[in-house]
Structures are given as C-alpha cells and as structure tokens.
Amino acid sequence: MQRLVQLALDFLGGGSSPDSGVPQPKRAIAPVQQAPEAPLLVAPAPPLGDLLTPAVFRHPAASREVLLGDAVVAYALQRARRRSIGFTVGPEGLSVRAPSWVTLAGVDAALRDKAPWILRKLGEQQARRQQEERARIVWGDGAVLPYLGEPLTVVLDPTHGFAARGGALEEQGGATGRALRIALAR
C-alpha cells in the first residue's frame, strides 16, 4: 500500500514533505497571468484506482498470493517430495510444487526470481484463453461461422420450407455468403 501511495505522490508531483528530512529544491515562483476572457477547460481526471489497477492472475485453488512486479498472482501451493521448487503455468493459472523443507519465504523469493518468466507465461495463457473465447461459435439461428473461406449463416427453419431432407446449403445475395438451412425448431 505504501508503494502505491508513493507512486501516486510521485505522479501528482508531491514526492516528499518538508518535515521528512529530505531537502527540497528551491523554486522561483513566477507570476502567471491569464486572459480574463479565455475559459479554462479542464477534463476531469480518471480515478487513480483505474490508472493503477494491477493485473491479477488467480488460480481457482489458490492458497497463497504474491505481488510480482505490478501483478498480483494467486497460486496453488502443493508440498511434494522433490529436490527443488517447481512452477507450472497452465490454463487455470500458476501451480507451485515445493519440498516440505522450503519455507514460505523461500517459495516467495523463488517466485520473485522467476517473475519475468512467470508473468510472460501467465500473459500468454490469458491471451490464448481470450483467443479461444473469440473463436467460439454460439450455435443457434443466425450464427455465422467460417466455411471454405466464406461466412456461412445458420438458418433454423421449423417449417421445412425447402426441398431437401434435413438441411440445404443455399447461396444468398450480397456479402453474406451462403446460408445453411436446417429443419429444426427455433
């Protein structure tokens, strides 16, 4: 928290106070004249919390949390019979397996040593998960999916208003490509 407050003070220009023991440079104050007819337009500043929100990576079975760089990483810690600390970054997040003789402070120190690698891998996993979400097709009436390099629109037709049995692939006019008519209720 103290680091966040110091960052905010540095950002806003109020780095140290006069009674903190740190000498402050002397500044000459020049008079500022403003034109009386010019209105001063100032955009409202966004909340400080929005500017300084750290990235958060959370494992579903997280038992510990550590601050790595500017990211909060919640990880699942498991004690195991091994000789060293092992890190695994998977789709669910960071898992750490450590021998029983390593202290929690030792585990946190090892995480901080490997922080660049861990954050890079967590970012890659997050990007992969977002890409899979974008590529997911919501199956239903009007769904558009790629078919032979062109968009294909799924049309559910409960009246069976076409000659084929089950379904028919039809050409549509315009840039919509083809339509797949399926004899299913909406």
Tell me the whole-structure pTM to 2 decimals: 0.54
Say if residue 72's pLDDT is above 80: yes
pLDDT for residue 79: 94
29 vs 163, more confident: 163
pLDDT for residue 99: 94
125 vs 135, more confident: 125
pLDDT for residue 26: 57
pLDDT for residue 22: 52
pLDDT for residue 45: 64
Say if residue 66's pLDDT is above 80: yes
Can you tell me the mean pLDDT for 92-111? Answer: 93
2-60 pLDDT tens trace: 666 676 667 666 545 445 555 555 555 556 565 556 555 566 666 655 555 678 888 88
pLDDT confidence bin for 70, thresholds 50/70/90: confident
Q: Are 115 and 68 in contact (CB under 8 A)?
A: yes
Domain ranges of the chain: 52-135, 144-182
